[in-house]
Chain A
């Protein structure tokens, strides 16, 4: 009984957090791109993420950290939580058609992270733009 009460409380708190999260997610994106939602999500994003959007919003960090070990240490590829995959889909293009780094100010990953004061070290090593040839080949 006590436990379930606690749980209910936690669910309540979480629910509030998520409403906020979803709100600011779209707010941040439309702020930075004058409401051009599609462009903000990424030039090659298609219409769905690797998992449910609402799940991704909450759990992408866990997915990435889980799958990076599977890939690097166990050699398992492809994986859903591929950071290369995120970049391939979520990098936007500028007016000249060149890719903009995903960690540039106001871009897909960093726009939300700046808002939530999350700082990543991933892009000190990982490419921030898709390999053009790779995307072309895969999209053949």
Chain B
């Protein structure tokens, strides 16, 4: 570690010296092609739709959701549709034509639970629970499975080697693996063969101050998104008022997704 740091410092120093010489050379030889004026940094398109997150994710926040299962209507699939449209997987995408339903991408799904004695059924959306103690992160050999400072659990696909340990470790069956080459991905949701993926809590939306697509779409009011660390947020106030549970709380994973009415 420290060896590495030493080396990179040295390299940085060398690079500076070389850079100065380079610039001189370019100034003389390249004529109009090389503009030597320093600080030529221009507005980019990316900068134009700037969000609130220029300073990045902070541990002052902990993003979470509350699902009111009493309002989740059996047969309704709106949250799943919204997720598919937003992130470009499943229906309507050019996804995985050769894979069967057990293999296909599944960022969010609906699950129906039935009380054996009363025969009462409840539907609820199931996705990455964004655990405070995520088992997927513990088992990952490369550090690809990770938790952001604000509690959002992600796969850093840049270093995911597709070993799928995280899929086995997840008690919520929230992750899936991409088996086939894809094309026409959404620009904000890059996905590709040989890597694992799951619900990102729509980080790209959250980072610009919007809600996840599923929450925005649910017009039954069954899903609420917000900052669990802020005692005055709508979600914190509701959690203080109604009783809610974490699924498989016994495992100690401490999910950020809570459910009421089950």
Q: Is the interface of A mostly helix, strand, loop or mixed?
A: helix
Q: Which residues of A are interface residues toward B (Cβ below 8 A)? A: 7-8, 10-11, 14-15, 18-19, 22, 26, 44, 46, 48-54, 68-70, 72-80, 82, 84-85, 87-89, 121, 124-127, 130-131, 134-135, 137-139
Closest Cβ neighbor of A76 among chain B residues:
B56
B26 interfacial contact with A, CB 8 Å = yes
A44 to chain B minimum Cβ distance, whole angstroms, is 7
B148 interfacial contact with A, CB 8 Å = yes
Are B45 and A44 touching (Cβ within 8 A)?
A: yes
Q: Knowing A78-B50, A85-B45, A135-B45 are in contact, say whether A15-B191 is a contact too (CB < 8 A).
A: no
Contact of B187 among A76, A78, A124, A130 (CB under 8 A): A130
Give 12 A-B contacts (CB < 8 Å), ordered by A residue. A22-B30, A49-B42, A50-B44, A75-B207, A77-B46, A77-B208, A85-B45, A89-B44, A121-B192, A134-B49, A138-B48, A139-B48
Interface residue tally for chain B (C-beta within 8 Å): 53
B125 to chain A minimum Cβ distance, whole angstroms, is 24
B163 interfacial contact with A, CB 8 Å = no
Q: How far does the alpha carbon of A2 sit from the alpha carbon of B25 in the complex, in Å?
A: 22
Q: Which residues of B are interface residues toward A (Cβ below 8 A)? A: 14, 17-18, 21-22, 25-26, 29-30, 33-37, 40-42, 44-51, 53-57, 146, 148-150, 154, 156-158, 181-182, 184-188, 190-193, 195, 203, 207-208
Are B49 and A137 touching (Cβ within 8 A)?
A: yes
Q: How far does the alpha carbon of A70 sit from the alpha carbon of B14 in the complex, in Å?
A: 25
Q: Knowing A52-B35, A72-B158, A80-B41 are in contact, say whether A18-B47 is a contact too (CB < 8 A).
A: no
Residues of B within 8 A of A82 (CB): 44, 46
B25 to chain A minimum Cβ distance, whole angstroms, is 5
Contact of B192 among A11, A79, A80, A124 (CB under 8 A): A124
Residues of B within 8 A of A53 (CB): 33-35
Contact of B49 among A10, A50, A138 (CB under 8 A): A138
Q: How far does the alpha carbon of A69 sit from the alpha carbon of B156 in the complex, in Å?
A: 9
How many residue pairs between the two chains, A and B, have CB atoms under 8 Å in the bound complex?
137
Residues of B within 8 A of A46 (CB): 42
Contact of B185 among A22, A74, A88, A125 (CB under 8 A): A125
Residues of A within 8 A of B193 (CB): 124
Q: How far does the alpha carbon of A48 sit from the alpha carbon of B39 in the complex, in Å?
A: 12
Are B21 and A88 touching (Cβ within 8 A)?
A: no
Residues of A within 8 A of B46 (CB): 77-79, 82, 84-85, 88, 138
Contact of B146 among A68, A73, A131 (CB under 8 A): A73
Contact of A126 among B34, B35, B185 (CB under 8 A): B185
Closest Cβ neighbor of A89 among chain B residues:
B45
B155 to chain A minimum Cβ distance, whole angstroms, is 9
Are A50 and B21 touching (Cβ within 8 A)?
A: no
Are B187 and A127 touching (Cβ within 8 A)?
A: yes
